[in-house]
Amino acid sequence: MIKNIPNKMSDQELIKYIAQVCPRRIDFLYLRMDFRNGCNVGYAFVNFITVADLLTFAKARLSKRWNMFQSEKVLHMSYANVQGKESLVDKFKNSSIMDEREAWRPKIFYSSGPKEGLPEEFPAPTHIGRKERSSFNRGALFGTNVHGRNGNFNSQPDPNGQCFGRRGPRRANRYPTDA
């Protein structure tokens, strides 16, 4: 995981930044975005093809200023809970993030062969129920987002007196104001 990324940086700019040190040596990249303001949240999941590639990048960039976007941030790295291209693809292919803008989705790249390091098509979801749950949970957490989906979080009660939060339906007027 690469941390302390300048918030204005795009996924393509991050790919170019990594390629300055290790061209075509990553096979997964997901720059986490804030859907409300369109900026990244400061970290990315990146899988280098080999440990040697990771070490090369770390030696060149770790603890150094980004010197971009007038940012004073210093690049940090850490291990993520999910490791390896296959595991990362499994984690994200059934996620609602795959319904977002192309630029905000995880990216995969060929890990070997003549196309090594070039973009690869992301696999289709295999568990539709999981993806639907992910979409519902995202809506519940963020409410109406920039794409107009409504998760009903903190929304007005529906005609049946229900509103929906992260834990499902609840009574709209838990504390009535009129006695």
Q: What is the DSSP string of 20-60?
A: TTSTT-EEEEEEEE-TTTS-EEEEEEEEESSHHHHHHHHHH
Q: Are 43 and 30 in contact (CB under 8 A)?
A: no
Percent of the chain with pLDDT over 70: 71
Give the sign of the dihedral formed by CA 164, CA 38, CA 31, CA 132: positive
Q: Which helix (H) or strand (E) holds 107?
A: strand 107-109
The pLDDT assigned to 132 comes to 57
Residue 172: is its pLDDT beyond 70? no
Calpha distance 23→118 (Å, rounded): 10
pLDDT band of residue 160 (cuts 50, 70, 90) is very low
pTM more than 0.85: no
Residue 177: is its pLDDT beyond 90? no
The mean pLDDT of 60-78, rounded to a whole number, is 95
Cα 60 from chain centroid (whole Å): 25
Q: What is the tens place of the pLDDT at every residue in 71-108?
A: 999 999 999 999 999 999 999 998 888 888 899 999 99
Domain spanning 2-120, CATH class: alpha beta
**Where in the chain is CATH 3.30.70.330?**
2-120
